[in-house]
Copies of this chain bind each other. A is one copy, B any other.
Amino acid sequence: MRTRPLKVALLGCGVVGSEVARIMTTHADDLAARIGAPVELAGVAVRRPSRVREGIDPALVTTDATALVKRGDIDVVVEVIGGIEPARGLIVTAFEHGASVVSANKALLAQDGAALHAAAEANGTDLYYEAAVAGAIPLIRPLRESLAGDKVNRVLGIVNGTTNFILDKMDSTGAGYQEALDEATALGYAEADPTADVEGFDAAAKAAILAGISFHTRVRLDDVYREGMTEVTAADFAAAKRIGCTIKLLAICERAADGGSVTARVHPAMIPLSHPLASVRGAYNAVFVESDAAGQLMFYGPGAGGSPTASAVLGDLVAVCRNRLNGATGPGESAYAALPVSPMGDVVTRYHISLDVADKPGVLAQVATVFAEHGVSIDTVRQQGKDGEASLVVVTHRASDASLSGTVEALRKLDTVRGVASIMRVEGE
């Protein structure tokens, strides 16, 4: 074994960073044996140096992250700051000074992955980011490497633990959205401002990363269609149960049937209770992958938290260190397929639509005509009525999102349709 240690600079020392530092210390011998050389924490850049950081030598702590990554003797920079800047600038500077980078930064990777990969490659260094998607769950490496000889057609994932906790709570207790969110906040599963989670921004960043890797195509955050889950109601869950489904916030990356384009989207959807994703409880994450040869795979585990995220970061750290000892780099960006990313209107799926309608003869015929005119085929219809009020619940066969939107627009114009109570996609069949 080499005795001269590899030097690691840690940018950020919050929940994840402090756990990375802790494990680097407590498991130093294991890491050295697995890498083939010892690793040494050479510096820790933080914003508030006065905070006590147990187990970290105060002499290593600095507020000057730029100087740290510019030192020139750093082998690997671990970036767990999050956000776009200063993370982006620091990562690029690290590459320019010969360091490889392990990052957990989904927002940055989703927005600027291509540029960062290019910077890594230009400097002969590595960019690894297993921790950016689904925390501890090995997902980036299986997609980039294990399935490198296969053709991925679809990725269907629960990639945000906060929203899965809320939806699971609504499902199991009949609670409304606000009540379930309040509980998630009280238990620390939701942040004080839950927007990034409940509006699907976090999941959309992960969808962009997953789609890019799965389809060997650049997919940016802006390419991802996004709907949050704040408008999911207890009534939606009751409706889902009636058709043997539950509701999950899904990140869905798909190759079009003709293989010529891809789509990426995040929205709440009904999925059958028999689908493996339906039984993913609490704040757990799971990602279901469909490929030509492997068939259906699922990866399940904790999607967030200090220790799980640190596990993913350290796995990458070991890989990047091994690469450096080998004088090699791991797989870089693979975007050779360069498939066009289609808009949401091109997505083909099924829909569950609840309409409030007048309780009189002929309404169903009228509604059915509108569906037919827009080329949306109806699978089942259920009518419920009393006291002049009635509802129609329609589940469609597969149709394009554009056709469905046209259908709904036309339905709203019917005198007999008093309102469209809810529209939800049905996935996983």
List residues of A whose CB falls within 8 A of some B CB.
19, 23, 27, 30-31, 33-34, 130, 136-138, 141-142, 145-151, 216, 276, 279, 291-302, 305, 307-308, 310-319, 322-323, 326-329, 331, 334, 336-337
Closest to A325 in B: B328
Given A294-B307, A331-B322, A315 and B276 contact (CB-CB distance below 8 Å): no
Please measure, in the bound complex, the distance between the C-alpha atom of A367 and the C-alpha atom of B294, giving whole angstroms.
Answer: 51
Contact yes or no, B147 A315, CB < 8 A? yes
Residue numbers in B under 8 Å from A31 (CB-CB): 149
11 chain-A/chain-B pairs, Cβ below 8 angstroms: A19-B293, A23-B293, A138-B141, A145-B318, A146-B312, A150-B315, A295-B305, A296-B301, A298-B301, A323-B328, A326-B329
Please measure, in the bound complex, the distance between the C-alpha atom of A207 and the C-alpha atom of B33, giving whole angstroms.
Answer: 23
Closest to A280 in B: B276
Contact yes or no, B300 A295, CB < 8 A? no
Q: Which 9 A-B pairs have the closest CB atoms?
A: A149-B314, A138-B146, A136-B294, A293-B311, A138-B142, A294-B311, A148-B318, A297-B301, A326-B328
Question: Interface centre among A279, A311, A329, by most B CB within 10 Å?
Answer: A311
Please measure, in the bound complex, the distance between the C-alpha atom of A305 and the C-alpha atom of B297, giving whole angstroms.
Answer: 14
Given A314-B148, A315-B149, A317-B149, A136 and B293 contact (CB-CB distance below 8 Å): yes
Please measure, in the bound complex, the distance between the C-alpha atom of A41 and the C-alpha atom of B383, giving whole angstroms.
Answer: 61
Residue numbers in B under 8 Å from A328 (CB-CB): 323, 326-328
Contact yes or no, B136 A297, CB < 8 A? yes
Question: Interface centre among A30, A146, A317, A334, by most B CB within 10 Å?
Answer: A146
A125 CB to nearest chain B CB (Å) = 14
Residue numbers in B under 8 Å from A318 (CB-CB): 145, 148-149
Given A23-B149, A318-B149, A311 and B326 contact (CB-CB distance below 8 Å): no
Contact yes or no, B145 A315, CB < 8 A? yes
Residue numbers in B under 8 Å from A315 (CB-CB): 145-150
A31 CB to nearest chain B CB (Å) = 6
Residue numbers in B under 8 Å from A33 (CB-CB): 216, 334, 336-337
Given A326-B326, A326-B328, A138 and B147 contact (CB-CB distance below 8 Å): yes
A312 CB to nearest chain B CB (Å) = 7
Contact yes or no, B319 A34, CB < 8 A? no
Residue numbers in B under 8 Å from A329 (CB-CB): 326
A98 CB to nearest chain B CB (Å) = 18
A152 CB to nearest chain B CB (Å) = 10
A323 CB to nearest chain B CB (Å) = 8
Residue numbers in B under 8 Å from A319 (CB-CB): 145, 148
Residue numbers in B under 8 Å from A279 (CB-CB): 276, 279
Given A31-B149, A147-B311, A314-B148, A137 and B297 contact (CB-CB distance below 8 Å): yes
Please measure, in the bound complex, the distance between the C-alpha atom of A327 and the C-alpha atom of B329, giving whole angstroms.
Answer: 11
Contact yes or no, A293 B308, CB < 8 A? yes
Choice from B292, B296, B322 contacting A302 with Cβ under 8 Å:
B296
Please measure, in the bound complex, the distance between the C-alpha atom of A312 and the C-alpha atom of B315, giving whole angstroms.
Answer: 21
Residue numbers in B under 8 Å from A145 (CB-CB): 141, 315, 318-319
Residue numbers in B under 8 Å from A296 (CB-CB): 301-302
Contact yes or no, A295 B312, CB < 8 A? no
Residue numbers in B under 8 Å from A293 (CB-CB): 19, 23, 136, 307-308, 310-311, 314
